[in-house]
Structure 1
Amino acid sequence: MQAVTGGRTLRGALPLAVLVVLLTAGTGYAFDDTGKPKADGDGKGSTDPGGNLSAAAQGYRITYPTGAPKGGGKPLVSVDANWTPPPCWFGPKYTPEQFKAEYTKNFNDELPQVHGSFRTAMGQDLDHYQNGLDYPGDKGYKDFNTAEAGKGMWWVVTENPDADPMAQMSCNNNRPTWVPNGQLPPPTADHVITAEMLSKLAFAHTRVPGVQVVTNPAGRQTVNIPTWVTLREAYTPVKVRASVDLGGGREIWAETTAEPSGVHIDAGTRDATLFPSSGDCAIAPDGTVGAAYNGDPKADPPCGVTYRRSTQNIPPFPFDASVTWKISWTGSDGGPHQLPNGQVDDPRPVTVQEVQTINN
């Protein structure tokens, strides 16, 4: 959690114990919005008819150049187990009036819970933003800079709640800072939002079609009879754009493109023959995968499996179909650049029966 009081100033002016308490204060005394849509309908994180996330109080804006995902889509899972979106970042979020309202509310909520030197420290911090109290190297503000409305934004730390809690704290040496339109914060600021960070946030917001497998025959399969596999979805490129408005006609932005690069099926057992033998089914130019049964009992499916063993007296086979998406991005700093591939899949149990025939 990033406390309003900020890290760098307190480190120079207050005992370490004061700093620790303020940085671990209750959630009210913090700015930790994540840029994700809110569930309370308060206007923060609302969407327009195109499914684009509003920029209000979120710190960045998400848009979908290829259209909003139908039915919500399915989130991509990175194939790199070590890949994560940014745990936190420092960027523009509040107008003076918004910052004043948020700060004073959080201050008043937190004040009754602290005493002694901690209470004094909070009072000094309030004076810094409200009454012009100067800190070393940081001139104080009057009334949260409301006189400069429309000329800039308050930059604050945003934390990603899905990140490791300790990693979220890595941005906490930034205190809220007023930055004029079109400019960046002083070079001493850490974890300033970048196009690369935005590309990762865009990745985290990327939603692609799921994997709905259709088999012929439907339901239970039969030993030595080919199962024809098709996917309901059409897989075409998906673009997601994340941007931060710096004012003055300047922005930082990144646009990711997720392109379907392959579909792989796994029969869930070695006692099966895949079609094709690699299990890698082709994606047609129109984005479709597989084909419906053509009526020829001797034909091999372009995407499918023939089971050689039944599941009688054993658990069903864990059949799986996965789609891999290649992710690239361009942004305000150039490109294209690469991100780790993403995947979606659809594991499901398959029961296989054995049909006995009698020859006369």
Structure 2
Amino acid sequence: MKRRKVLILPVGLAALLLSAVGPAHAQKGFGGGTDGQTEQSANTDGKGNVSVTVGGVVFDRSKNGSGDSVGAVTSSTSWSPPACWYAPKYTPEQLQKYLEPIWEAESTGYEWDAKQREKYNALDEKKGFNKDKTGKGFWWGSYVNESYPPGWDKCDTEYFWVDQGDPPPADIENAVTPEVLAELAYAEIRVPGTEVTLAPAEATKVNLPTWAWLDGAEFKPVSVTASVEAIGIEATATAEPVSLRIEPGTPDAEIYPASGVCEIKGGRIGAPYEKGRADEAPPCGVKYLRSSGDGTFPLQATVTWEIHWTGSGGAGGDLPDGTFGATQDVVVQEIQAVNR
């Protein structure tokens, strides 16, 4: 027997199509979203700390970076956080309330509906949909990152049952575990902007070292905790700043240090300029060898953040470093000489 086309689409896309059928097909599960979607809800503790529920996962952002210039880190490797994942989605009763209206609408074909009823033992009033296991497990389903990055449609496994206390099947990729939660928390990390302070403050001059530094008060570890209360697991991803890379925006420049990478020391990246040290080589900075004329040079400052995680049961490890940078325009002037 052939399935109708709508049924062989990935779960996330099929759910989007089904959501257009009518309100009866948008039965919410305990995970906080309609089938295949990642509906959000937010709570605050009265102090501005926010926890957000996305796709069955609660993200505690209270220790995240804040401010107008914060942004998400980009992995320094080809790795990226999961674009979709599986988590507890329905109790037996909730799954029944979600599926039966779809079957009754006959939008998916009698033969397919019949197979689905058989799969979930729907005709058995006591055991159908695992109702005899109510309180002892959940039906797991897929959720999709709301920005739909590449790979969002890979989680196309149909609902599967997991007994309380048991791990999800090992052959199902991105079913939530502490490690997967850490990877999802990685995507929620926000770090401060990277506009560096340059000095001497009056102007950047040709052939004079320009000191660069970042305020240590802003560059401290940030973290996000992801949890699934229904199954009692969590993980925290923590990002710590380790270095600043400077790219002056022109090949006609010298960088301090020569590698262009300024290590973090004493909670600060670089060192503030002090009057009288204009001719000294700074621990972090740049010396421009020509003026910017009527324009500017686009100085790029990128901070590297080391990211590690800890989770339930003593689990933990490292995740790929993340980077976050910004460009700022620098005016470089010629040194004016006075002839007497």
Normalised by the length of structure 1, the TM-score is 0.73
Q: Which residue of 2 aligns with 1:231?
A: 214
Partner residue, 1:78: 75
- Sequence identity of aligned pairs in percent? 35
Partner residue of 1:193?
Answer: 176
What root-mean-square deviation, in Å, do the aligned CA atoms of Structure 1 and Structure 2 show? 3.6
Mind listing any 5+ residue stretches in structure 1 that lack a counterpart?
Answer: 1-12, 39-43
Q: Are the equivalent residues in 1 in contact too, given 2:200–2:273 (CA < 8 A)? A: no
Whether the 8 Å contact between 1:213 and 1:346 is mirrored in structure 2 is no
1:72-98 per-residue CA deviation (whole Å, 9 max, x = no partner) reads 732111111x21111322211344565
What is residue 354 of structure 1 aligned with on the other side?
Answer: 334
Tell me what 1:274 maps to. 255
Bigger Cα displacement from structure 2, 329-338 vs 340-349:
329-338
Distance in 1 of aligned mates of 2:172 and 2:336: 74
Q: Is the 8 A contact 1:236 1:287 kept in 2?
A: no
Match of 1:301 in 2: 282
Matches within 5 A, 1:313-332: 316-332=296-312
- Corresponding residue for residue 29 of structure 2: none
1:181 aligns to what? 164
d(CA) in 1 for partners of 2:291 and 2:4? 67
Aligned ranges 1:85-104 → 2 under 5 Å: 85-95=81-91, 99=95
Distance in structure 2 (CA, Å) of the matches to 1:168 and 1:339: 21
Written as runs of structure 1 = structure 2, the 5 A alignment for 1:119-138 is 119-120=109-110, 123-124=113-114, 127=117, 132-133=122-123
Match of 1:222 in 2: 205
Runs of 5+ consecutive residues of structure 2 not aligned to the other structure: 20-24, 26-33
Look up the equivalent residue of 1:74 and give its one-letter code: G
Counterpart AA for 2:66 = K
Greater mean alpha carbon deviation, residues 284-293 or residues 334-343:
284-293
Matched, 1:32 2:36: yes
2:223 paired with 1:255: no
Change (3 A) 1:51 1:33: farther
Of 325, 338, 341, which residue of structure 1 is paired with 2:318?
338
The DSSP-based 3-state class of the residue aligned with 2:265 is: coil
Query: Are the counterparts in 1 of residues 216 and 267 from structure 2 also a CA contact under 8 Å?
Result: no
SS at match of 1:283: strand
Cα distance in 2 for residues equivalent to 1:220 and 1:205: 38
- Further displaced range: 196-205 or 93-102: 93-102
Q: CA deviation at 1:284?
A: 2.8
C-alpha contact 1:291 1:302 (8 A) present in aligned 2: no
**Residue 20 (structure 1) aligns with:** 8
In structure 2, C-alpha distance between the alignment counterparts of 1:337 and 1:130, rounded to whole Å: 39
The number of residues matched between the two structures is 319
Q: Which amino acid aligns with 1:298?
A: D
Tell me which protein shows more strand as a share of its residues: 2
User: How much has 1:319 moved relative to structure 2?
Assistant: 0.7
Letter in 1 for 2:236: E
Partner residue in 1 for 2:143 = 158
